[in-house]
Amino acid sequence: MAYASLGRIVAQWGMTSRAMTIRLAELRDAQPIAAMSRDFIEAGLGWKYDSARVMRAIRDRETVAVVACDSRSGAINGFAIMEFGDERAHLVLLAVRPSHRRTGVGQGMVEWLVESARVAGIASIHLELRAANEAARRFYRAMGFYETVLVPGYYRSGEGRKEGALRMLRVLRTPGPLPAAWRPPRMEDPKR
- Assess 57 for contact with ligand COA (CB under 6 A): no
What 3 state SS string does the chain have?
A: CCHHHHHHHHHHHCEECCCEEEEECCHHHHHHHHHHHHHHHCCCCCCCCCHHHHHHHHHCCCEEEEEEEECCCCCEEEEEEEEECCCEEEEEEEEECHHHCCCCHHHHHHHHHHHHHHHCCCCEEEEEEECCCHHHHHHHHHCCCEEEEEEEEEEECCCCCEEEEEEEEEECCCCCCCCCCCCCCCCCCCCC
- Assess 94 for contact with ligand COA (CB under 6 A): yes
- Assess 41 for contact with ligand COA (CB under 6 A): yes
- Assess 21 for contact with ligand COA (CB under 6 A): no
Given 90, 101, 118, 173, the residue binding ligand COA (CB under 6 A): 101
- Assess 144 for contact with ligand COA (CB under 6 A): no
User: Measured from the CB atom, is 46 or 185 closer to ligand COA?
Assistant: 46
- Residues at the site binding ligand COA, with contacts judged by CB under 6 A: 40-41, 93-96, 101-107, 129, 133, 135-136, 138-139, 142
